Structure 1
């Protein structure tokens, strides 16, 4: 016989599963691949739109690709989304 009662662990398991779908840590991430000057402009635009003080915004990762383009990931909290 199965009980329909939910335990705190059931709630935790559902919540942790949803967090894992979002990256597990609650941050929103966007990855861009752009030429160097456009990448700088995009990062500046992102930081202006989502200031570090409110969103903990940062360039989480970047690298230069073989073709000279910059691939970078911007990370921020979803505050006020």
Structure 2
């Protein structure tokens, strides 16, 4: 068990900063990979976090000039 250290206002500020980063409740992760690796990574996420349970989806993707794919996957942490 960890004990929060610092003045109450410092503790409150740290908790508020943590909460602000995930205000909408979604967990997101961004990857930049070669096309075949991007497909494999997306499949891995959908296998591990099925859409029906976690509402997993590719939120954003684009092809970079060098052919790599940059994409963001988001999911709800509902069953973590």
Interval containing the TM-score (normalised by the shorter chain): 0.7 to 0.9
Question: Deviation string for 1:3-62 (max 9, x for gaps)?
Answer: xxxxxxxxxxx87x72x221x210000100000011001101100100001000000000
Query: Runs (4+) of structure 1 moved beyond 6 Å?
Result: none
Report the Cα distance in structure 2 between the residues aligned to 1:55 and 1:80, rounded to whole angstroms: 7
Counterpart residue number, 1:8: none
Measure the CA separation in 2 of the matches of 1:58 and 1:80.
Answer: 16
Instruction: Answer with 1 or 2: which has the greater Rg.
Output: 1
**Residue ranges of structure 2 left out of the alignment (5+ in a row):** 1-14
Structure 2 residue aligned with 1:26: 25
TM-score (norm 1): 0.73
Distance in 1, matches of 2:56 and 2:30, equals 13
> Using the alignment, how far apart are the partners of 1:63 and 1:30 within structure 2?
15
Q: Give TM-score scaled by structure 2 length.
A: 0.74
Query: How far, CA to CA, are the matches of 1:79 and 1:48 in structure 2?
Result: 16
Report what 1:50 is aligned to: 49
| 1:38 alignment partner in structure 2 | 37
Aligned residues: 65
